[in-house]
Amino acid sequence: MAVITNSLSLKHTLSLGYPQRKILTRPSSTSLSFRRCYASYANENREYVIVGGGNAAGYAARTFVEHGVADGRLCIVTKEGVAPYERPALTKAYLFPPEKKPARLPGFHTCVGSGGERQTPDWYKEKGIEMLYEDPVENIDIQKQTLTTSSGKLLKYGSLIIATGCTSSRFPDKIGGNLSGVHYIRDVADADSLVSSLEKAKKVVVVGGGYIGMEIAAAAVAWKLDTTIIFPDDHFLQRLFTPSLARRYEELYQKNGVKILKGASIKNLEASSNGNGRVAAVKLEDGSIVEADTVIIGIGSKPAVGPFEKLGLNTDVGGIQVDGQFRTSIPGIFAVGDVAAFPLKIYDRISRVEHVDHARRSAQHCVKALLSAQTSTYDYLPYFYSRVFEYEGSTRKVWWQFFGDNVGETVEIGNFDPKIATFWIESGKLKGVLVESGSPEEFKLLPELARRQPPIDKAKLQNASSVEEALDIARGSLQAAV
């Protein structure tokens, strides 16, 4: 699940006037005063509050612990009923049938996705971190520095980090978006509901040809279900894949029995005639009908700004506007992860990135800036990946990685079986690289290529006889650029 949204160049955002913050290098008198206040008003005052319970919240909590300031001073407020976890699992291994060894909690709590300690609910207790589950924030009073939750709890914060992520885009109720058997995936409860449907399903329709659609359709194949994927675009993952690259993946899905309806618009979802309120079919704008007893909608998401709109939104990419240290325009308030519209330094523009890698890194950078003397600007390199058909018995497991920017002309090398690579070249420089089924060494090369953007001989690259040779040419361009 990943999206990158770009907007204005950085030079147009410098006039926002972000206030300078005091850096906490040691407990100040203000900090100590606040801690006394915390002790006196334990039901109301918190020194640090994180709103949101996803990846960003989990990695932020780990960074607070690493700096020795979590115990009794950090509170996480989340609408979910479980501790933060690695959300990408929900559209991958979590959806596998029982015999394919599906992922389940506590197996993928943060921060196992980056090789860190598994932060189970007991971990938060041991570290002295207060967790307020199933109690989302409904209001913020900026002047009083208070939050009000849905249960009516009032929290006074010293510093606030907003890590609310995104919400799934939904079909309107009037066209069947709330029928039984229609699913959206954003959290564990959503995934549990879908698994229950898949256990009884016969005909599945996946709406959307992006990350979510592709991953869920691949998981449905493991259940040996009649699966159709429908989307309005010309090909899979149109935001990133070239038509040629997408065709390779589409052929793989078709070989696995998935029917693909491209360029199709949906008119409505139809309910069963027996009156049980369950979805029975998908009706397209051209009048055709696709039968389905389970429909999964994967048409994107939107930033969950909720009561935090008053902090200042970016109207071009959505989300809360922040600077290179994730500070909003309000002193003491930060925003990280999917919900943050931040300066993408390497490409000199404002972006909002919906990806686990950014959620992890932005949370860590923000907390380090808040708690230490770190003043460096966040310097993120866009990175996306996907893994599908990874279950036992799959004829071919698929795992690709992309680093950089998909701009300019493209050069495609390889025949997809066993691997393929796509290079994006603009003004003679290598801007981005995608490799399917690469080795660990090959994947390790990609970020260096994308960050350094070396000049490269396009003709020489086009004449490469294999992915390995093409990557050797790209590696040589790095050495030549030194």
Neighbours of 422 (CB within 10 A): 23
Asked if 190 contacts 183 with a C-beta cutoff of 8 angstroms, the reply is yes
Q: Inter-axis angle of helices 440-452 and 467-480, to 10 degrees? A: 40
126: left (phi over 0), alpha (psi -120 to 50) or beta: alpha
Q: Could you read off the pLDDT of 74-83 as tens digits, one per residue?
A: 999 999 999 9
Round to whole Å and give the CA distance between 30 and 37.
10
How sure is the predictor about 466, in pLDDT bands with cuts at 50, 70 and 90? very high
The CA-atom distances, in angstroms, between 64 and each of 46, 111, 230, 249 are 14, 13, 43, 41
DSSP state of 189: H
Which superfamily is assigned to 397-480 in CATH? Answer: FAD/NAD-linked reductase, C-terminal dimerisation domain (3.30.390.30)
Which of these CATH numbers, 3.50.50.60, 3.40.50.720, 3.40.50.880, 3.40.50.300, describes 173-299?
3.50.50.60
The tens digit of pLDDT for each residue in 200-209 reads 999 999 999 9
Per CATH, is 45-167+303-371 categorized as 3.50.50.60? yes
| Per-residue confidence (pLDDT) for residue 39, from 0 to 100 | 38
The predicted-structure confidence for 414-463, as pLDDT tens digits, reads as follows 999 899 999 999 999 999 999 999 999 999 999 999 999 999 999 999 99
Say what percent of the chain tops pLDDT 90.
Answer: 87
Which strand (E) or helix (H) includes residue 449? Answer: helix 440-452
Domain definitions of the chain by residue range = 45-167+303-371, 173-299, 397-480
Residue 27 has pLDDT above 60, yes or no: no
Rounded to whole angstroms, the Cα distance separating 87 from 478 reads 35
Q: Please say whether the beta carbons of 84 and 163 come within 8 A.
A: no
Common-topology check for domains 45-167+303-371 and 173-299: yes
Distance CA 104, CA 117 (A): 17
Look at residue 40 in the predicted model and tell me its pLDDT. Answer: 37
Q: pLDDT tens, 327-345?
A: 999 999 999 999 999 999 9
What's the CA gap between 266 and 175, in Å, rounded? Answer: 9
Q: Is the pLDDT of residue 249 over 90?
A: yes
